[in-house]
Amino acid sequence: MFSKKEINIIRDKFPILKEKVYSNKLVYVDNAATTQKPIQVINASKYFYSKVNSNIHRGVYYLSQKSTTFVENTRKKLKKFINAKYSSEILFTKGTTESINLIATSLSNVIQKGDEIIISYLEHHSNIVPWQILCKNKNAILKIIPIKKDGFLDLEKFENLISKKTKIVSISHISNVLGIVNPIKYIVKISHSYGSMVLVDGAQASSDLCLNVQDLDVDFYTFSAHKMYGPTGIGMLYGKKEILNNLYPYQFGGEMIKEVSFKKTTYSDLPFKFEAGTPNIEGIFVWGEALNFIEDIGLLKIQIYKKNLIKYALKKLSYIKEIKFYGCKITDFSKKSSIISFNLKNKHCFDIGCILDKLGISVRTGSMCAQPLMNFFKVTGMVRLSFSIYNTFEEIDYIFESLLKVRKILK
């Protein structure tokens, strides 16, 4: 547990937290959408363009070699961060969305008419639409894992859904709406027993869980830098080496080519086979600094602190009698991340969000790119709070007091 002094030291590393919103102190609790950036990450961007800027893997000159080294060092850091077996299993993408699209596209030569793909009711649109399109194009069947009233996956029904025809199960590690941690290891075990591959959308898990892809035995795992104190526009896709070697490339062009003639083209070895064109070099370099920031504090310490925040917030907000939580009837906080979604009785989520904004509180409102889940709960949207290392218990008290004001204003 961090002391108040330690949290203030951490908060001082985030310049944006000193900003005012309508003359109020900023309370930023939309971390599931994107996290704020510490000064060392901000400075890393300036350093890259003023000291290092050069293309990678292309030149024998000093700056190119230096830039290449920085990029490959970040790849090695990510290998360690998720405990992958090989650095070549780490592919750089624009983010989680592109990673899922990459696999859905690369599997198009594998999926045949009548094959099955399984996702769940909990998924972000980015983990729904690519599979819908693939199934439509290949006359495959998209199956959906139902959820129970509390938002947890109905695992019994999942076991009834999966079959020998199932080619891939694509599932979120943590729901971006409910904050529920799904039992990935169990899902992988069942899926593999049917010969199915598993892709895990780890967008919400990368800053909440200690990841070990070898222990989970997932075939693919993906997340984005910007949800873990890094820059936007850069993400990572892990894939087992033997599977990636057998997949068709997603894009074509420079970097991913071994030999080209007008008659035939051969592709580079992993990871470059899936990294066509000039990558977001600056983003990769800066992401390395974000990983350093997490390592310096300690991911486990961050997790423990965020668990304490979520416990306190749930307890505090429960005193508001009109509040309705979604997916929060939980006592085992190993199954819950730092996300709370709720509504106030007879109050529209957008109205709540607008008033909170005027009070300096940044929350997410609406469907949160999960319309099927909203339909399941029979709502048009929700209010979401999502916490990070720089949030405080005092901020939760302020959110509580502000919601009481919202209740009074919207009476």
Active site residues: 369
Is 281 exposed, middle or buried, given 0-12, 13-18 or 19+ CB atoms closer than 10 A? buried
- Closest by alpha carbon to 34, among 225, 287, 177, 289? 225
- Asked whether the beta carbons of 235 and 92 are under 8 A apart, the reply is yes
- Closest by alpha carbon to 195, among 137, 115, 268, 261? 115
- Closest by alpha carbon to 118, among 98, 145, 136, 92? 145
Count of CB atoms situated within 10 Å of the CB of 182: 22
Give backbone dihedrals phi and psi of 310, rounded to 5 degrees, phi first: -70, -40
Amino acid at 268: S
* Contacting residues for 405 by C-beta, under 8 A, at least 6 apart: 355, 359
Question: Which CA distances in Å does 395 have to 6, 146, 174, 333, 360?
Answer: 16, 35, 24, 21, 11
